[in-house]
Amino acid sequence: MKRMLMTGAALGLVLCGPAFADTKVAVAGPMTGQYASYGEQMRVGAELAVEDINAAGGVNGEQLVLSVGDDACDPKQAVAIANQFAGEGVVFVVGHFCSGSSIPASAVYAEEGIIQISPASTNPAYTDERPGPGILRICGRDDDQGRVAGEFLAARFLDKKIAFVNDKTAYGKGLADATLATYEAAGGKAAMTEAYTAGEKDYTALVSKLKSEDIDLLYVGGYHTEAGLLARQMREQGMDTIVMSGDGLTTAEYWAITGEAGEGTLLTFSPDPRKNADAALIVDKFRARGIEPEGYVLYTYAAVQAWAQAAQAAGSADFDPVVKGLDEGTFNTVLGELGFNEKGDATLPGYVVYEWKAGNYDYFVQ
């Protein structure tokens, strides 16, 4: 069903005299659990975006009210959160983080007429197989990310022994598979492929196998928690193997796990929005509050901006006119000017390679 902006009670108030209903929006991601640093990135991004929009008069004269949902990157919990938002009358959700959460939750949002813009879910199926036109993303895709990573590996490490491992999630396995496919198409051959279980604390058996195979570079399809442990445990076994992964390493927690063992770790991510002139004022505002807008902070902020601009232009927060606006419009955001293609993917620059050095990730320089 299509969810209208006002509840019956709010409509009654309007009929009795001048009154405005608040517009309910939400952010959903892993607010707890091992990936909670990304949930925190999304929460602070959404909160400041809503605060700034409200300070400027809101959307169509109404203030935004933000709900925060914790899915812990669990698919069942994500669906429960989506249904909870539907019951609350939420019209827009920025989320989720993990592709394995965004994909099942999207079916609920499509059914309930709620617009979903993920700032971080990169699995291609999220938009390739989207259940409705209100499902969009403002980040890149793992087929693009894997292509960039695979081409980089083939150009620089074709004569080295590379192992590909993944955490069996929609994100991790999808990214590792896409990277390996590009690497093999360029003439490479994996020295080893393995899957590991996310959430474990000891990967000694896997590290020992990597050591016995004399692996020069380990490509990790997964998140910072496990990649960090692998990097640290390889150094503890005297290995100088390079670690490479994707955007799942864009958090300071990676370095907190690895320490100096993380030096030289490579990763792919979209161009750093913190360096975007359009984001300078917002970056300064975050930093003045003691928040470093790393990873997906600004992507979340931009998702809220895009939805708000589409709703303002439509003169309504109702599903159909806002979807039409998102499909047809362009939006000025902290990521720069962007729009959405026919699949619901954002029109933004592609992926680049970064390197962790001295506790921070920055563009890779040869």
Give yes or no: residues 320 and 236 share one domain.
Answer: no
Would you place residue 2 in the very low, low, confident or very high pLDDT band (cuts 50, 70, 90)? very low
- Res. 8: pLDDT tops 60: no
Q: Which amino acid is at 201?
A: K
Task: Go through 108-140 and write b for each residue having 16 or more CB atoms within 10 A of its CB, e for each that does not.
Answer: bbbebbbbbbbbbbbbbbbbeebebbbbbbbbb
Give yes or no: residues 191 and 239 share one domain.
Answer: yes
**Residue 135's domain is classified under what CATH number?**
3.40.50.2300
Would you place residue 9 in the very low, low, confident or very high pLDDT band (cuts 50, 70, 90)? very low
Percent above pLDDT 90 for the chain: 93
- Res. 4: pLDDT tops 60: no
Give yes or no: residues 283 and 252 share one domain.
Answer: no
Judge whether 349 lies within some domain.
Answer: no
Judge whether 152 lies within some domain.
Answer: yes
Dump pLDDT digits (tens) for 289-314.
Answer: 999 999 999 999 999 999 999 999 99
What's the alpha-carbon Rg for the chain, to the nearest Å?
21
Quick one: tokens of 182? 């590009």
User: 13 is in which domain, residue-wise?
Assistant: 8-140+275-338
Judge whether 29 lies within some domain.
Answer: yes
Mean pLDDT for the stretch of residues 225-240: 97
Give yes or no: residues 136 and 180 share one domain.
Answer: no
Give yes or no: residues 148 and 265 share one domain.
Answer: yes
pLDDT given at position 363:
96
Mean pLDDT for the stretch of residues 113-132: 98
Total structural domains in the chain? Answer: 2
Judge whether 356 lies within some domain.
Answer: no
Judge whether 343 lies within some domain.
Answer: no
Give yes or no: residues 130 and 214 share one domain.
Answer: no
pLDDT given at position 272:
94
pLDDT given at position 20:
52
pLDDT given at position 278:
83
Rounded Cα distance between 250 and 96, Å, is 16
Would you place residue 21 in the very low, low, confident or very high pLDDT band (cuts 50, 70, 90)? confident
Judge whether 1 lies within some domain.
Answer: no
Q: Of the residues 229, 246, 269, which one is the last residue of a structural domain?
A: 269
- This prediction's pTM: 0.91
Give yes or no: residues 242 and 174 share one domain.
Answer: yes
Higher pLDDT, residue 5 or 61: 61
Dump pLDDT digits (tens) for 175-201.
Answer: 999 999 999 999 999 999 999 999 999
Dump pLDDT digits (tens) for 75-85.
Answer: 999 999 999 99
Rounded Cα distance between 77 and 89, Å, is 19
Judge whether 61 lies within some domain.
Answer: yes
Give yes or no: residues 166 and 260 share one domain.
Answer: yes
What is the pairing mode between strands 242-245 and 217-221? parallel
Give yes or no: residues 201 and 316 share one domain.
Answer: no
Give yes or no: residues 24 and 114 share one domain.
Answer: yes
Give yes or no: residues 253 and 291 share one domain.
Answer: no
Q: What is the mean pLDDT of the chain?
A: 94
Judge whether 243 lies within some domain.
Answer: yes
Would you place residue 18 in the very low, low, confident or very high pLDDT band (cuts 50, 70, 90)? very low
Rounded Cα distance between 143 and 140, Å, is 9
Give yes or no: residues 151 and 124 share one domain.
Answer: no
Would you place residue 315 in the very low, low, confident or very high pLDDT band (cuts 50, 70, 90)? very high
